[in-house]
Amino acid sequence: MGNFEAMEVECLHQFGVASRKTDCRGSFIKLTWFRDLKDRIVLTDDIHIQILVGVRYASHTFFVNGKFCKDPMLVVAEDFFKHVDAGNTTNKLGSKVTPVSVNELFGLNTLGISLARIDFAPRGLNPPHIHPRGTEIVIVIEGTLHVGFVTSNQNNGQNRLFTKVLNKGDVFVFPIGLPHFQLNVGYGNAVAIAALSSQNAGVITIANAVFGSTPPISDEILAKAFQIDKNTIDYLQNQFWYDNN
Ligand code: MN
């Protein structure tokens, strides 16, 4: 720890913390901070905003969730606006996620919310994945989806699957951090809108992370973990793991 204790930082409009004394939307964001091993100041507020790193004392500027603040005099309506078209589902998975997170819409900075449009071709799959920083609530706009999530390890050694077939207008929740999926089981295309309780919920696509990492995980590890032979692991690791996000 350095000379500072947890400090209250006045937020600069929706664009986060520009300095400790900057005017804002009238609310305070409490940021706890510490110094990392490289003597950078690291700020955190809550689970909705990932750890953020600011350059020490550089013009009193901090990153908020990795995003710079914008001078409030330069903010325009376009900073809060985004248009989303249907995603191209011509790929191995037959699905496409079009995120609207703080990475695409800077006006979301510090607000703890984002969304995604998910397009599905017939039998298109949004494969099992995790959002490490956000709960997801999804509504089906078009088509029929078989969705589900699996709980974390339970005392009895089980992981429970909660699954449902959703039709147009149906809503389902995927709790933060749990593996979940959506499969288009209808005859036509399907469209879903997902809202996420983070400006930057993050995505870990399980198959991609396990079999498509760079560099690859040792096949000894994966063969034992998945209870299959190394040749099968090697085969899987040689596949192209398409990222539909
Ligand atoms: Mn999801």
CATH 2.60.120.10-classified regions of the chain: 84-202
Q: How far is the CA of 182 from the centre of ligand 1 (A)?
A: 8
Question: pTM of the full predicted structure?
Answer: 0.76
Residue keyed to tokens 């998975």 = 93
Q: How far is the CA of 17 from the centre of ligand 1 (A)?
A: 28
Distances (CA, A) of 135 to 47, 177, 182: 11, 7, 15
Chain segment 115-165, per-residue pLDDT in tens: 999 999 999 999 999 999 999 999 999 999 999 999 999 988 899 999 999
For residue 80, pLDDT over 70 is answered with yes
Q: So what's the pLDDT on residue 53?
A: 41
Q: How far is the CA of 197 from the centre of ligand 1 (A)?
A: 11
Q: So what's the pLDDT on residue 114?
A: 96
Residue keyed to tokens 């006006």 = 107
Q: Is 185 left (phi over 0), alpha (psi -120 to 50) or beta?
A: alpha
Q: Which CATH architecture group holds 84-202?
A: Sandwich (2.60)
For the chain, what is the mean pLDDT? 81
Q: How far is residue 215's CA from residue 234's CA, in Å, rounded to a whole number?
A: 13
Q: How far is the CA of 155 from the centre of ligand 1 (A)?
A: 26
Rg (CA), the chain: 21
Question: pLDDT confidence of 43, banded at 50, 70, 90?
Answer: low
Q: How far is the CA of 45 from the centre of ligand 1 (A)?
A: 23
